[in-house]
Structures are given as C-alpha cells and as structure tokens.
C-alpha cells in the first residue's frame, strides 16, 4: 500500500461526502485541527481578535473552507492550500497596510470622531448608523453617564467605542 492509498483509506479522499464514515470524519477533524493550528499560528495575531472587517472576513472564509473540506463538500488538501493562500494574502496586505496609510484606510477603514469636548457630533453619529441610545449604551459600559464628561470618543475601525475622559 503506497502513501496515496493510505491517505485515501484514512481520510476518504476519493469518497463523496455522503460516503464518508465516522472514522474518516474523525481523521479529517483531527488533521484539520492540527493544520489550522499551524496556519493560524503562522498568521498575525490580530486577525483572531476580529480587529477589523478585513480580519473578520478572513476568519469567516477560513471557517467556511475548512468546514467544507472536513465534511467532504470540497477536496481536502486543495482546500487546505486555499486556506494557506488566503492567510498569506492577508499577511501581505497587512504588511502593505502597515507601511501605507492609504492602503490601511482603504482595506481596514478609519475611525470616526463621535464626541469632541463633551459635544456629540450628530452628523458623524448618523453616518456611523448609530443612534444616540447606542452611543449612550456604549458610554455607560465604560462607566460614563454623561457625554459632557468626555474629551473625545471615537468609533474605532473594529466597531468598538474608545473614550478619553476630560
């Protein structure tokens, strides 16, 4: 038995998804877990925190492709190669964005000033699709009951509100 036959027997690589047995699924799950740990550990740490839409999209895509490969909806090893390529592209774009504010803003977006010197800026708040109630809730979560106590508040690229008190 050569290596390709062994891999096929263990992972059911030549089988359709409905033909995969419990052992094939268990072996695919174990291998997928190990491979994803390697791929994710080699990527930058921020994408795991879903820091921006750019990072969040990669997380969703990896999960989708990995799930299809594991359940037999897509070829296993070509799918894993696709995951590796996506992480590499993400890394290259992140590296480019690090050195270029233009690329960074284009790919990752920008923050939005919502409060300046205690005054709520209504137009940026509306452009961010935030209600005043949303803003008040975010401020309360930071222990602030009155926008007048805020020197500056920004809706960050991650969607989180950052606040500097007066």
Residue 49: its H or E element: none
Using pLDDT thresholds of 50, 70 and 90, give the confidence band for residue 40. confident
**Which residue segments constitute the domains of the chain, with CATH numbers given?**
3-106 (no CATH), 111-165 (3.30.240.20)
- Cα pseudo-dihedral 100, 101, 106, 111, rounded to 10: 150
pLDDT for residue 122: 95
Look up tokens 């106590």; give the residue.
Answer: 149
Q: Look at residue 46 in the predicted model and tell me its pLDDT.
A: 59
Most confident of 90-94, 99-103, 113-117: 113-117
pLDDT at 115 over 80: yes
Residue with tokens 């027997």: 9
Helix, strand, coil shares of the chain, percent, nearest 5, are 65, 10, 25
User: pTM here?
Assistant: 0.68
Question: For residue 54, is pLDDT > 80?
Answer: no
- Per the model's pLDDT, the better-predicted residue between 84 and 44 turns out to be 84
Q: 40-57 in b/e burial notation, b at 16+ Cβ within 10 A?
A: beebeeebeebbbebbee
Q: Quick check: 66 and 29 in contact, CB under 8 A?
A: no
């Amino acid at each position: 038995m050569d290596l390709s036959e062994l891999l096929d027997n263990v992972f059911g690589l030549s089988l359709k998804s409905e033909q995969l047995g419990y052992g094939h699924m268990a072996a695919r799950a174990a291998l997928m877990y190990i491979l994803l740990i390697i791929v994710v550990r080699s990527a930058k740490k921020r994408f795991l925190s879903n820091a921006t839409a750019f990072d969040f999209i990669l997380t969703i895509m990896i999960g989708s492709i990995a799930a299809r490969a594991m359940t037999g909806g897509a070829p296993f090893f070509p799918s894993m190669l696709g995951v590796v390529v996506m992480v590499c592209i993400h890394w290259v774009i992140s590296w480019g964005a690090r050195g270029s504010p233009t690329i960074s803003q284009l790919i990752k977006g920008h923050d939005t000033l919502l409060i300046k010197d205690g005054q709520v800026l209504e137009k940026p708040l509306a452009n961010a699709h935030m209600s005043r109630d949303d803003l008040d809730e975010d401020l309360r979560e930071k222990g602030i009951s009155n926008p007048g106590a805020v020197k500056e508040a920004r809706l960050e690229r991650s969607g989180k509100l950052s606040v500097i008190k007066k």
